[in-house]
A and B are shown apart, each in its own frame.
Chain A
Amino acid sequence: MRFSYTHHMPYTGVTDAGQDWPVPNKQFDAEKGVEMFDRYIEDKIYAEQAGFDWIGSNEHHFSPYGMMPNPNLVGAVVANRTRRAGILQSGNIVPISNPIRIAEEYAMLDVMSGGRLIAGFMRGIPHEYVAYNVSPDESYGRMYEAIELIKKAWSSPEPFGWEGEFYQFRAVSIWPRPVQKPYPRILMSASSDASARLAAEVGASAGFLRIADFDSARNQIKVYRDRAKECGWSPTADDVMIGMNCCIAPTYEEAKEILQNGQKYFFGVLGGGIRTAQQLVVQKTRYFKDAGAAEKFAKKTAVQREVSFDERVERGLIVCGTPEMAIDQIRRIHGELGNGRMNLSVKIGNIADHHVTRTLDYLRDVVFPAVRPLGEDNDPAQAAE
């Protein structure tokens, strides 16, 4: 089992960010911001020392939810200050960005890190489309086309142009080119049927985040694996990454209190404005290709809202408790889903940074050594089918 460390870099200096979209930035205190960036980057560097295999940065806009509108800036710092860990950009929001810029910056990161980039291609959460004034209806069309264009920019030895539906370029020849050939490893979200199929078609590893229950996650993995088979390849356990929140403490009660409070802040304070924009996008556009995808999205949101914390732990949807409990929980997830990777979010909302560090230490000293062998030689198909 391999682990990825994701840190959203939230701005935790607000007590009530309201429900407006976008979240007014008058609440941003630059001095606090400087301190937070310092601390958060140190946390990311420390994650390598704690044994994480990938260190993730992701893109969000116009709210204290995350202070990384350009995660590639943070990825560059992490690349420079680490030597072993994969630089996971999870990722750039492809449909709202210039795909050639993504190809260039990702190539830079791959070269700066000596070939350690894991290139995340994300469609983003709905509100990002409002932020960058891109029609959510076009999200899949832009995603498909941009990914082909980026792969071509990475791999074509000769300059080329592109005549597409959303993108037109007459002369492209990026410098530098990536270290990894023909291009860097790609990771995509596979949290809906459409995105799972797309990840398989691209040949990408797949991230399954915020799962509602094991049955639906298994079905999602099956969609991904079946489509990959149709496309002529077979994902390994290493291509299947399950994302979860994680908090470890000496007792379950303490871990629960820390994580529960962090989640309360995350959803109640950081997530207010985002939900407002999200509702607009989901209700008024074709962001989701079909009603089924919209229903699944609603179900996941409902799980967060309606199912008690203890029940979510019981269902295996959160890694929380003592180190020994975390080992059991990770083993159970692997047994149910056959994943070879987990993405752990440890800084949830306003969880104190020293608690984040403590969780990382428990992971390094107790949890990782016990669960490393999981997923090394088994076939996730058995669990997924």
Chain B
Amino acid sequence: MFNEKTSKVAKGSLKYLTGGSGRPLIHLHGAGGVRPNPGLEALGKNVTLYMPVLPGFDGTSTIDGVDSMETLADLVADFIDKEIGEAADIIGLSFGGWLGAWVAVRHPDKVGQLCLENPAGFRPDSVPAPSSDPETRKQEMYAYPDRVPAETKSEEMLAQNRAMLAHYHGDTSFDADLAGQLGKIECLTMIMHGTRDGRVPEEAVQLLKRDIPRSHLIYVYDAAHSLETDQPARFAHLVSDFMERAEAFLVNQGAAGVRPQQVL
């Protein structure tokens, strides 16, 4: 469903996957890199997804001068300029949600609507860090590990992807600079949190809801951190509805509405 392309941005080139039909939606990936999955495929029935491979992830090279969340956000804004040519909607998963918030703060004119999906970067110091034990980590990541598509990336690539997190944000788990600027986010924002997410704490999404002016917090039942694979139908339905109806997505459409089961 998704085709690989390359975008020529000011500071270099950026690989991206694109596919689907409908208005453009920029998808910013998490720590695992770009990962097509049934949730994104279902979402692609209603929007055209643009999924840039952020520099250094998935075997790509880093770009000189792009070594922080701020400069990475500038790069995404440039990507939107080059590929979309006007303000675009953004959805970001985990690390990508953190980045999406930075784009909205630094480039409000480039963002239409914003969706933060289990966003990292806002875990207060008072909340213990997630587990590093592999088995516990797996439970925190996936409510339904069997729904995760087969791994196509090498161990080496996955390790490199994880290393890129430190490249962009060091060992920060609470981005105080960004947290202090959340009030500047002007666009309509939806914060999604899986009820079984063991990586992003409740305190983080409550903070985002409190400080982003036009925001909605939606809990996705029975999903862990990997929300797109745990509950692909709910994910696609919710994001599609939010993107299509904006603020009016609060209002029940009755029989005219599409239920999650009909999305897949």
Contacts and interface: CB of A to CB of B under 8 A. Distances in A.
Given A163-B237, A163-B260, A171-B250, A158 B220 contact: no
- Most-contacted residue by chain B among A163, A165, A170 (CB, 10 A): A163
B210 A152 contact: no
Interface string B232-264: 001001100000000001111000000010000
A164 interface: yes
A170 B190 CA distance: 11
Contacts of A171: 216, 250
Interface string A153-186: 0001111111111010011000000000000000
Contacts of B260: 163
B206 A157 contact: yes
A161 B193 CA distance: 10
Interface residues of B, number: 20
B204 to A, nearest CB: 12
A161 B217 contact: yes
Contacts of B206: 156-158
Contact of A163 (B220, B250, B251): B220
Contacts of B209: 158-160
A170 to B, nearest CB: 4
Contacts of B195: 148, 152
B157 interface: no
A149 B222 CA distance: 11
A158 B252 CA distance: 21
Contact of A164 (B216, B222, B250): B222
Interface in A183-221: none
A162 B219 CA distance: 5
A157 B217 CA distance: 11
A58 B260 CA distance: 35
A145 interface: yes
Contact of A145 (B210, B221, B237): B221
Contacts of A145: 221-222
A160 B221 CA distance: 12
Nearest to A156: B206
A164 B222 CA distance: 8
A164 B218 contact: no
Interface in B193-229: 195, 206, 209-210, 216-222
B216 A161 contact: yes
B187 to A, nearest CB: 18
Nearest to A170: B250
B250 A160 contact: no
Interface string B122-142: 000000000000000000000
B218 A162 contact: yes
A167 B219 CA distance: 11
Contacts of B249: 170
14 contacts: A148-B195, A152-B195, A152-B219, A157-B206, A160-B219, A161-B218, A161-B219, A164-B220, A164-B234, A165-B222, A167-B221, A170-B216, A170-B249, A171-B250
The 4 closest A-B pairs by CB, nearest first: A164-B221, A161-B218, A158-B209, A170-B250
